[in-house]
């Protein structure tokens, strides 16, 4: 199984500053010119919500403050600037190989 | 508006069985693959099962042989039949729509809770 390691496990960022979350895969999640890495936001008491698909594509309705980058085994979710509403846990997920797996999550707080 | 509403969760003894349901609306259910994803009490997310629009099913090894995903396209309902339940199956179970061939989950329900305990 592909193991996804997120770092940091938690981070505190001041309003208006940049938050950067990393997701490292134990093997490449690239195929056919695409990176099958996706990012979700989960607020307390809510289900996960898709933010970014295939590494860098912004889901419809998601603010442009969110962006994704990376390829093969190293991926990054960036939130810039951070707003109070962004307090949540963020998860990466790979779909390049069965079984689909998720990272352990990164909890974002406001400093 | 896409809506997914899960039901059927509860408290089950180890070795027992339970069937979850997910009522879908707001999209052409029969055209989409659907999945179940669970979140453990430790907040870890785990893919549990998927079913294609054509009815092909997929499972991780952790539930293969114990869980069965199915769908009723006439009633727009997704099911998860769970048997031989273990304490480690305790989780919130989410129904999710799986998008195309990229296999990400673009819509999620609010979830239903399964507790396996004696």
Question: Residue B60 corresponds to which tokens in the numbers above?
Answer: 């991780």
Per the structure, how many domains does chain A have?
Answer: 1
Q: Percent of chain A scored above 70 by pLDDT?
A: 100
Which domain, by its residues, includes A71?
4-110
Which residues of B have a CB under 8 Å from any CB of A? 37, 43-47, 58, 60-61, 94, 99, 102-111
- For position B34, what pLDDT does the model report? 97
pLDDT for B100 beyond 90? no
What is the Cα–Cα distance from B55 to B51, expressed in whole angstroms? 6
Q: Which helix (H) or strand (E) holds B84?
A: none
pLDDT for B101 beyond 90? no
The pLDDT tens digits for B9-30 are 999 999 999 999 999 999 999 9
Rounded mean pLDDT, B35-58: 97
Do A104 and B44 lie within an 8 Å CB cutoff? yes
What CATH number has the domain bearing residue A56? 2.60.40.10
Residues of A in contact with B105 (CB under 8 A): 38, 40, 48, 50, 93
Residues of A in contact with B37 (CB under 8 A): 48
Secondary structure in 3-state letters for chain A: CCCEEEECCEEEECCCCCEEEEEEECCCCEECCEECEEEEEECCCCCCEEEEECCCEECCCCCCCEEEEEECCEEEEEECCCCHHHCEEEEEEECCCCCCEECCCEEEEEC
pLDDT for A74 beyond 90? yes
Do B45 and A93 lie within an 8 Å CB cutoff? yes
Do B99 and A53 lie within an 8 Å CB cutoff? yes
Do A99 and B44 lie within an 8 Å CB cutoff? no
pLDDT for B102 beyond 90? no
The pLDDT tens digits for B49-98 are 999 999 999 999 999 999 999 999 999 999 999 999 999 999 999 999 99
């Amino acid at each position: 199984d592909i193991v996804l390691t997120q770092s940091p496990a938690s981070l505190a960022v001041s309003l208006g500053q940049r938050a950067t979350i990393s997701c490292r895969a134990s093997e490449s999640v690239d195929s056919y010119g695409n990176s099958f890495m996706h990012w979700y936001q989960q607020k307390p008491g809510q289900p996960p919500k898709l933010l970014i698909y295939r590494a860098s594509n912004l889901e419809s309705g998601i603010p442009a403050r969110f962006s994704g980058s990376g390829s093969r085994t190293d991926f990054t979710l960036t939130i810039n600037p951070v707003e109070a509403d962004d307090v949540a846990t963020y998860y990466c997920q790979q779909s390049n190989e069965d079984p689909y797996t998720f990272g352990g999550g990164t909890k974002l707080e406001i400093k | 508006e896409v809506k997914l509403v899960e039901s059927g969760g509860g408290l089950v003894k180890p070795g027992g069985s339970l069937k979850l349901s997910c009522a879908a609306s707001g999209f052409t259910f029969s055209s989409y693959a659907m999945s179940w994803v669970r979140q453990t009490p430790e907040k870890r997310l785990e893919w549990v099962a998927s079913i294609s629009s054509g009815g092909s099913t997929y499972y991780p090894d952790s539930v293969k042989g114990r869980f069965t995903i199915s769908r009723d396209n006439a009633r727009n309902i997704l099911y998860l039949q769970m048997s031989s339940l273990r304490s480690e199956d305790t989780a919130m179970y989410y129904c999710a729509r799986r998008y195309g061939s990229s296999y990400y989950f673009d819509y999620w329900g609010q979830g239903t809770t399964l507790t396996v305990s004696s």
